[in-house]
Chain A
Amino acid sequence: MHRYVKEFCRTALLLITASLFLLPLLWMLVFSVAPPAASSLFPAPDSLTFSNYVALAAEIDLWQCYLNSLFISCATVLLQLLTSSLAGFALAQYEFRGKSLLLGFLLALLALPFELLLPGEYELLHRLKLLDTYAGLILPCGVTAFGVWMFYNAMAAVPKDLLDSARLDGCSEFAVWWRIALPAVRPTTTAFCVVGLIGNWNSYLWPAIVLHSESKYTLPLAINNLAGAYGQQFGQVMAAVTISSLPMFALMLFLHKEVREGMTSALHKQ
């Protein structure tokens, strides 16, 4: 009997915590489909309408922002994946002079906050005339110390014999990387891509500094501007947040197991 009581308490406690965590998001959904003027929970809005979404679409060029966000996130992650996996592969599988120095440098970069680079990066982009361009936004983010380090750990676990046998079969070094090493670290790749996509989708500080023209705005920029300008139209903002987070929720829904495994294994090797 005692055991059942304990189990019941445990389950109840967990469910209560989980629902408390969901509550803000649930109310976001509710108010996004409530009449625009609704702000009261008691009584809760009783009619369902999409007028918030319609008004939102009239307010900002949602489609354009979506495309911007999608393009920038995907391009950044692909570039990061390319540089991180290549560098990680080289660091893990090759012996060359200065390797330990490079590894030390990598660890030092890991500890360096990105914010330190902002002023210098801004000045550089200004000189290269890359401010307010996608290239200026994406290229500086193209290499991440964390990514290189993550792939370095994963690639170090790929057996050398496997790579050597591929070389004997006449694979070029590039092919060894592309056809043997990269598929071998697939969980890391998935986790890196999903986490990177979510991170870039939600990034605000760097785009806010680089982008000036509204037609290039990403979703976080556009929606925060909207919220600043129309502070009281909160149904509209809830609608905006709902549709901007939807793709990432979907991603997490389908891939959360892979992400969990990839992230935990990557971090535990430290």
Chain B
Amino acid sequence: MSGWRGMGAALVVALLGLLPLARGAEDAAAGNVEAAQATFDEALRAYRAGDATSAQALFEGLLDAELDAGTRGPVLYNLGNVHFRAGRFAHAVAAYTAAVESLPRSRAAWDNLELARAKAGLDPADRGDFKATVQRLVMAVRPGELALAGWVLVALLAGACLLEMWRGGAWLKTLIVGCVALVAVDLIWLHFASARLAAAPAMVVESATLYAEPNTEHTLGRRAALGERVEVLARQGERGARGAWVKVRGDEGTGWLRDNELFDWSVRTP
């Protein structure tokens, strides 16, 4: 018995010792959010003042910060507005496409996306057919919301199991089966929503020639089409830097294209 007490005391001490560390991480995160909020506000002011260049730089800078989905969506949306006003409709399409993935139920983001696609000469993102409707339905709930629903279902399942142990009864057993079924549906939905978010987080914004190597000497004789979703495989040079190259995988296979021919909204890993 004394052994159990000793172990418990050690665990409490260890947890107390970790508290300052946890608080430090929380403070750092809070500090990051405050800094990002300040940058966001500054970008808004620059845009309102007609300084689109500064607004664009500030919004793009925010994409390099560690942001959650709820914050990242407005940043991408506003960046899309900056590109739209500048007449860069393909860039706007890419930014709005990324925005609706973070804010799938935003009417404004969808409207702007469709308008930008029309201006860029692309087909509508939501064609209104069965496949597009199902895809939009799946994407209407964010993975975080699905995860939250999953945890609620797990809690409900646990409660139902406890009650069933004491009371028994058919309706409690039905509730348990229902909870398990709903958890399964939730997990499948979560899988598809997550996979779709993670897949091909970049878009070709200029119809581009694909090269075998990161130079213009060895063309593959294939082109990446405007508006095509691609997956970034490798980079040569900093993102946004002049002369940078990106290796992508798209509909036409794998190849290199110039960085400025691509809008990449993948989450920046520091």
Partners in one complex: no
> Which residues of A come within 8 Å of B, CB atoms?
none
